[in-house]
Structures are given as structure tokens and as C-alpha cells.
Amino acid sequence: MMNVSARSTQYRWVAFDVPGLKQESHTDNIQNYLSTMFFELAFED
């Protein structure tokens, strides 16, 4: 293992008391509606 030093940034996201989201009769896929954070690699410097 090699040590690599770099400037880094700490990000923190918190949600409290998140209500459950229930499947309803016209919901196609509940996974599409649950609150979710997505990440996409923009570039590597």
C-alpha cells in the first residue's frame, strides 16, 4: 500500500425522520420515487 496525499473535501448530507414512501395502486416502480442522491463522475484532474 502506498500513501497518496491530496487536498480533499468532506461532504456530509443528513436527513432526519424521513417518512416511508408506500407503494400505491398506480405507482409503477417505487424505487423511482424514493429520495436518493446520485453521483456522476464529471472528470478526473
Partner 1 sequence: MKTLLLLLIASTFLLTSPLNAEPPFEFGEISSSDMDLEYFRDKYPGEPAVIIGNIGECRFDYDNNRGFQFVIRRQYRIIILNEAGLDYGNFSIPYYNSRGVFENIRRFRANVFNLDGDEVNRTRIRQREGFTNDRGNNWHELTFAFPEVRVGSVIEVRYELVSDFLFQLRSWQFQHEIPVIHSEYQINLPSFFVYYASLRGFIDLDIILNKSQPVIPGRSEGEIALLMDRLMDK
C-alpha cell at 33: 420515487
C-alpha cell at 30: 417505487
37 binds partner 1 (CB under 8 A): yes
25 binds partner 1 (CB under 8 A): no
- Which residues inside 1-20 make contact with partner 1, applying CB under 8 A? 1-4, 6-20
> Count of alpha carbons within 13 Å of 2, Cβ hemisphere only?
3
Who contacts 27 (Cβ-Cβ below 8 Å, separation ≥6)? Answer: 33
Q: 22 or 26, CB closer to partner 1? A: 22
26 binds partner 1 (CB under 8 A): no
* List of residues contacting partner 1 (CB under 8 A): 1-4, 6-23, 30, 33-45
